[in-house]
Amino acid sequence: MKTRLSLSQKAGLLSLALFAAILLVWQLATLPEAKIVAADVDPEYAALMGGGTASSASSFPTPAAMAQTVWQKLSDPFYDNGPNDKGIGIQLAYSLARVLGGFFLAAVVAIPLGFAIGNSRVFYQAINPYVQLLKPISPLAWMPLALYTIKDASASAIFVIFICSLWPMLINTAHGVANVRRDWLDVSRTLEVSPLRKAFRVILPAAAPTILTGMRISMGIAWLVIVAAEMLVGGTGIGYFVWNEWNNLSLTNVLFAILMIGVVGMALDSIFGVLSKRVAYQE
Amino acid sequence: MTNSAIHPFLQVEHLARAYPSPTGGDDVTVFDHVNFRIHKGEFVCVTGHSGCGKSTILNILAGLDSATTGNVFMDGREVSGPSLDRGVIFQSHALMPWLTVLENVSFAVKSRWASWSKQQVREHAMRYIELVGLKGAEHKKPSQLSGGMKQRVGIARAFSIEPKMLLMDEPFGALDALTRGVIQDELLKICAETQQTVFMITHDVDEAILLSDRIMLMSNGPHARIAEIVNNTLPRPRERSAIHREPHYYPIRNHLVDFLVSRSKQFGSLRDAPDAPSSPTVFDPADLLESGPSVVPAPPVGKPHIHLVNA
């Protein structure tokens, strides 16, 4: 008898098959070529040339070596052996702290400002040219200015995150507030609702899905930008870790860091996914 | 009674509304010279073709819109903005979809009586939710309700603030005929219990006859006016299943339909005539029946204004 698989079961099986295929291709691509040559080469010479063994740090890691690294790094994430050797957990914590700091500051500025812009057409038209001009600037372009004025590398990274998180939140908040249905505003007018109560009980919940979409986009961009920003400012953080391991020629660690950036990014996004669902409403 | 005739509860004087012309010419006057009075406890319906400005008049009464000229007085005070004294039931029900039924009504109750405790607000809101027959659905979101149930929540919300006057803009326009009938019956019952003063816009002649004490007929815009006022003499309490047996039912209904089909158009061409009526004609089916038994669909005899309208 044939058993029917549900959609998610099918998708799960396909995902596993894809994973297996990737591992297989990876394994085949990283087979030690040395074995073929090694037969008629002096092993000592091979060792000197660094090609004879698979344990060389600079060679592309095999899936098995990668798995071992992942296990080893994740089993001790918070060690600290000085500036160039910290656990992955510590590096990610630095990056997360900067992202959350910059993001929070941006939210504090963007959401009230977006509220004001969305409520007033005059204000909207007055601010719009600045937003359109500043929005397309790569946040990293602000870095020299930030370093010059703030004179602190870590704070400059936070500033860069602030700048890149600002625009999507500002635009979405203004858009959400400006497009609150007239009916709801009319209801609150006929009920003589005070401006503050109207803002929190009517406009905010009405615009919340749009605002949260803006926050989600901002967080996505902030997590993209922090890696590049930390490569520039150095010292700590996952971006610095990637660059440092590249300088150490440890592709295994670079790969591991890439994987971790993906995992954390996914986790941040799914947090906003849950929040979005919570404020969503069906008309 | 005589006192309220001298000082009507709601008085509308020379109301007019003009919009800038989209083509850049003179302003377009949607309606002008609109005068009428509504007494306390009265149920008045307005009908007329789309574009005659009925909804604008209602919004002006609500304080959501403003007139180009003219004044509205309620209870001796001029209407200059929205107020809790006037409850509005919107055609699109205008419930807040992120709140439950109870929260929607409570929001209004809390707006009216800010100092009430949570318990008081809840009890008061529940009383009106029960009144419209929605007990058991109070924790549902509007998206889980049918169109008729949503409109009932709108009615409960408007009644819950115990306004001095209720304004309804085609509240049942989007409902199917069966649901509309049921809610009309409920509205009739609630209005009888609460002695609510109501101003209601409707396109439905039968709805107007079932619910109202007087029906105001508006001519077509631009320069729309209240052309006639029909006294609805059908006795209360009214039953949907029995009102068509009342002797006044068909005269009133035919008069209304005649107006909407033909006279509403003709009235517009008269507005520049030197003897154009400045106040609307009053149609009373009682006059009609006295003047002869055979004139069911015909316009009333002995009413000079009607002749003028038909000229």
**Tens digits of per-residue pLDDT, A39-73?**
566 666 666 665 544 444 447 889 988 999 999 99
Q: pLDDT-based confidence at B308, cuts 50/70/90? A: very low
Is some CB atom of chain A closer than 8 A to the CB atom of B88? yes
Is some CB atom of chain A closer than 8 A to the CB atom of B65? no
Q: Are B132 and B186 in contact (CB under 8 A)?
A: yes
**Which residues in chain B touch residue A186, judged by CB atoms under 8 angstroms apart?**
64, 88, 90, 94
More reliable by pLDDT, A216 or B52: A216
Check residue B284 and give its pLDDT.
82
Given an 8 Å threshold on Cβ–Cβ distance, is A282 in contact with B143?
yes
Q: Are A168 and A217 in contact (CB under 8 A)?
A: yes
Which of A182, A186, A187 should be substituted to probe chain B, the one whose Cβ sees the most B Cβ atoms within 10 Å?
A: A187
Check residue A46 and give its pLDDT.
61
Single pTM value for the model: 0.83
Is some CB atom of chain A closer than 8 A to the CB atom of B153? no
Q: Is the pLDDT of residue B5 over 90?
A: no
More reliable by pLDDT, A256 or A37: A256
Instruction: State which residue of chain B sits closest to A187, comparing Cα positions.
Output: B94
Phi and psi at A132, nearest 5°, equal -65, -35
Given an 8 Å threshold on Cβ–Cβ distance, is B96 in contact with A282?
no
- Alpha-carbon distance A205 to nearest alpha carbon in chain B (angstroms): 7
More reliable by pLDDT, B85 or B285: B85
Q: pLDDT-based confidence at A85, cuts 50/70/90? A: confident
CA A71 to chain centre: 23
A145-149, B51-55, B282-286: least confidently modelled range: B282-286
Given an 8 Å threshold on Cβ–Cβ distance, is B96 in contact with A279?
no
- A vs B, Cβ pairs < 8 A, gives 59
Check residue B24 and give its pLDDT.
79
**Average of per-residue pLDDT across A146-172:** 94
Q: Tokens for B7?
A: 């000082």
Which of B83, B95, B111 should be substituted to probe chain A, the one whose Cβ sees the most A Cβ atoms within 10 Å?
A: B111
Check residue B38 and give its pLDDT.
94
- The mean pLDDT value of chain B amounts to 85
**Average of per-residue pLDDT across B287-310:** 44
- ipTM of the complex as predicted: 0.83
Q: Is the pLDDT of residue B301 over 50?
A: no
Q: Tokens for A59?
A: 């060679």
Number of Cα atoms under 13 Å in the Cβ half of residue A181: 13
CA distance B134 to B120: 19
Q: Is the pLDDT of residue B305 over 80?
A: no
Reported as type and span, the H/E element at residue B167 is strand B165-169
Q: Are B44 and B60 in contact (CB under 8 A)?
A: no
- The mean pLDDT value of chain A amounts to 90
Check residue A43 and give its pLDDT.
62
Q: Is the pLDDT of residue B272 over 70?
A: no
Given an 8 Å threshold on Cβ–Cβ distance, is A183 in contact with B92?
yes
